[in-house]
Structure 1
Amino acid sequence: MELLCVEGGPRVPRAERDPQLLGDRRVLQNLLSQEERYSPRVSYFHCVQKEIKPYMRKMLAFWMLEVCEEQKCEEEVFPLAMNYVDRYLSSVPTQKNHLQLLGAVCMLLASKLRETMPLTVEKLCIYTDNSITPQQLLDCEVLVLEKLKWDLVSVIANDFLAHILYRLPLPTDKVELVKKHAQTFIALCATDYTFAMYPPSMIATGSIGAAIHGLSVSANSFSGEALTELLASITGTEVDCLKACQEQIEAALAESLKQASQSQQEYSSRKTPDYPASQNGSMTSTPTDVTDINL
């Protein structure tokens, strides 16, 4: 008998969702009862942080998202890492030159919880252009763990997706597509501090609503207002609040696409030998704006 070793090969397949757990309302209710515990307590830009500004958080978030995407992390890693960032910043005054270090530590911790093979300290240091040493990362990891009281199993929006989709009358062949689009919306929300104070269940519900609307997927007899009411009833969300959240998510997507298009046009117009195309297999370097924060 031969033993198949898959180390270094394709990603390890994840276990299938258990329909018994998805169909048990108590599981969803437990997530709903715990989600507030892991939300930032205050608008920390006004009450806690003196140096850190919203635009700095956004630049950090986009860098973290780029790292997670390039390393092909699980979809939950980036939103979970941003949850750690917000929880830490909501209680600990932080210098702006420590912000990228915090982001790297939070990605490390999140990958340890949600990845089969977590990110390594050495790789994360490379992504900072070696502006952070492995020892600094390890020392900061202990500090972040202490400030988060070692309570890392945060409830995030991604945790609600399977439970909500299980209760929607969607065509079987469309469920995975809606889920993928909803995950993209959740990641987008994680980059914007405006959504940090929203309950994860509302972000998940609004993301699914936005995905269904954008894909024009038919949910049997449910559409428009009826679908919104069904989504709201699943997580116990106010219909008006859910509508506002979904509209805000769709607006954030439109703005993100607009900015991406403008950035692409600017890059194309100024491309010179000083801006070479990236080589295959090369790691994403730290964006200039994040480096500025780290100085």
Structure 2
Amino acid sequence: MSAEKLTVARSPRAMAWERRRGAFGAFCAEFARSRSGMIGLIFLLVVIVIAALAPVIAPAWMLDVTRLLDSPRFAPPSPEHLLGTDHQGREIWVRMVWGAQVSLVVGFAATAVSMIIGTIVGIAAGHFTGWVGGLLMRLIDFFLVLPSLILAIVLSSVLQRGVWTIVIAIGLTSWAGTARVVRSQTLSVESRDYIERSRVLGAGHWHIIVKHLLPGVLPLVLANTTLTVGSAIIAESTLSFLGLGDTTTQSWGAVLKNSMDVSAATSGYWWYVLVPGIAIVLVVLAFTLVGRAVENIINPTLRSR
């Protein structure tokens, strides 16, 4: 009897949070059974920890060329120089550790900007009808047909160079794909009976969007986010490789640009090119593995296969 009274006394919000905790626990348990997803997640956690501990692992003075006058230039990988040195005598592994900070920050921040814009525009385009929905769809189509990388290059060239300029350039040019996916999911959620009941009971647009549509599309946004981070890291590396990044900060794209400037690929300094290239490939692959695992859990069609 007391248990029944306790159940009745619980508020709807507490019961909703309990259901969400249970769903999150089930999601974590399902994700843990994905071998590829766990491999990608563990690798990403290691990279994030290394990037966070960069000042401890590789003190900043190790990048100061004035204190590396006796360090050999273009030294190949060896026990003394784990990943070799660059054209200024700096250790490649030190530049990679510090570059991981910029690449990950740009990847996560640009993806956050892209996901926020894409989610808001996608939900609005799917929820509102008439000229508002039509106008938003034309806006989405306009950004879809524009080459996002070229538009990001233009923005990076016009705005002041810096890390956050690259974040803004990538975020403002890569949201259209997310918006189109979110719109499709919004239309699917809109067709369900509880949305119609909410309208009949007098629920407004804000209530329907926040209480029903947003929770319905968030799992899809989460899966899309993990896949988009890898694309943002590639875009950042491309912009830095083209010389549009901040030359005062280390990034994996900047290391590749420096290697191109000294013709490392044709001069036999293979480590100068391979190390940052392999790092970018592995991190993007890890994000892809995590994203696919999340997508398989969230999408019932893929899960049944």
Q: Report the TM-score when normalising by structure 1.
A: 0.25
Higher helix content, 1 or 2 = 2
- Compare CA radii of gyration and give the structure with the larger one: 2
